[in-house]
Structure 1
Amino acid sequence: MAKSNVLNPHPPEFDRFLYAFVGEDRNGYAVTVLSTLARLGLDPWKETAELVTLGHDAARARLANLLARSRDVPALASDHGRIARNLSQLLPEGRTPGRAKQAASSEADSHLGTSGAIWAVLAIIFVLFQFLLVGGSGSGE
């Protein structure tokens, strides 16, 4: 079983790419690849895993397409191709497609397992609370 990091369950190989600066938004805030993908409604880690599984040229083309869809960062509107080319160099190499997919799916599975455990604990607390409320009034023997 792979070692999991509870504080950061995402593949660390993606960090250099995801936290790379892409430009400033219209409000002057720094925007990264991670925030750009999130603003597009995509899961940044899943999308990065998909990019890693593509060949270098296909990943660069897909990334350019995604960056062109971003309307928040003026620099991306005119220069998305060059920025995508530079960013694609930051994608991790040497990973097999299966390992990249496995990293993304195991990250998603860990979130599902954690949220399931949280819901189970909350359900138990709710049942105990209901038992105390109803059981405390008694039937009047």
Structure 2
Amino acid sequence: MAEPNVLNPHPPEFEQFLYASVGEDRNGYVVTVLSTFARLGLDPWKETAELVTLGHEAAQTRLASLLVQFQDVPTLASDHTRVARDLSQLLPDSQTSGALKRAAATVADGHTGTVQAIWVLLAIIFVLFQMLMLGGSGVGE
């Protein structure tokens, strides 16, 4: 597995799970796991990372409890257990990849803030450089 990079800090192994359908909403639009988590007020990547670290059975139980709370897809009210079982099969196996387990733990622990701090620091340096360049052009006129 490739390590998450600066421009996309999320493990690519999460994509198959996050972009899977949980069903259609009342307007006939497909709702994904990513959208479901976001509508429940959860960080989709963090929640997925936590599901990966839980193991298959516990992840399926946790996912079922989240899906039963989600009211935007009417069919989930009666079918959340089957949907959770099917979706949990799409979660990457944390046992097969030490790198994935580390990435999941990093996302779950919220250490992606380091990358954001680097971008903020670079933005500050850029602004200071611009101020220096623009401020120096009017001197002596």
Q: Same fold per TM (> 0.5)?
A: yes
Alpha-carbon distance in 1 for matches of 2:97, 2:65: 21
Compute the displacement of 1:91 (Å). Answer: 1.8
Q: Secondary structure at the match of 2:15?
A: helix
2:83 & 2:53 partners in 1: Cα distance?
20
Q: What residue ranges of structure 2 are gaps of 5+ in the alignment?
A: none
| Residue aligned with 1:46, SS | helix
Question: Superposition RMSD on alpha carbons, in Å?
Answer: 3.0
Aligned to 2:117: 116
Q: 1:99 to 1:50 in 2, by over 3 A?
A: farther
TM-superposition CA deviations, 1:10-58 (whole Å, max 9, x none): 2222222222111112232211111111211212222122212223222
Aligned runs of 1:14-53 on 2, under 5 Å? 14-53=14-53
Letter in 1 for 2:116: S
Q: Identity over aligned residues, as a percent?
A: 59
Residue 127 of structure 2 corresponds to: 126
Q: Distance in 2 between matches of 1:90 and 1:28?
A: 23
Structure 1 window deviating more from structure 2 (7-16 vs 42-51): it is: 7-16
Alignment of 1:1-141 (within 5 A): 3-6=3-6, 8-93=8-93, 95=95, 99-106=99-106, 108-109=110-111, 111-131=112-132
TM-score, normalised via structure 1 length: 0.74
In the TM superposition, residue 128 of structure 1 has moved relative to its aligned partner by 4.2
Deviation per CA, 1:60-100: give whole Å up to 9, x if none.
11100011111211111221111111111222225269755
Residues 57 and 118 (structure 1), Cα distance of their counterparts in 2 relative to 1, 3 Å cut: closer
Residue segments in structure 1 that go unaligned for 5+ positions in a row = none
Shift of 1:135: 6.1
Distance 2:5 2:138 in 1: 46
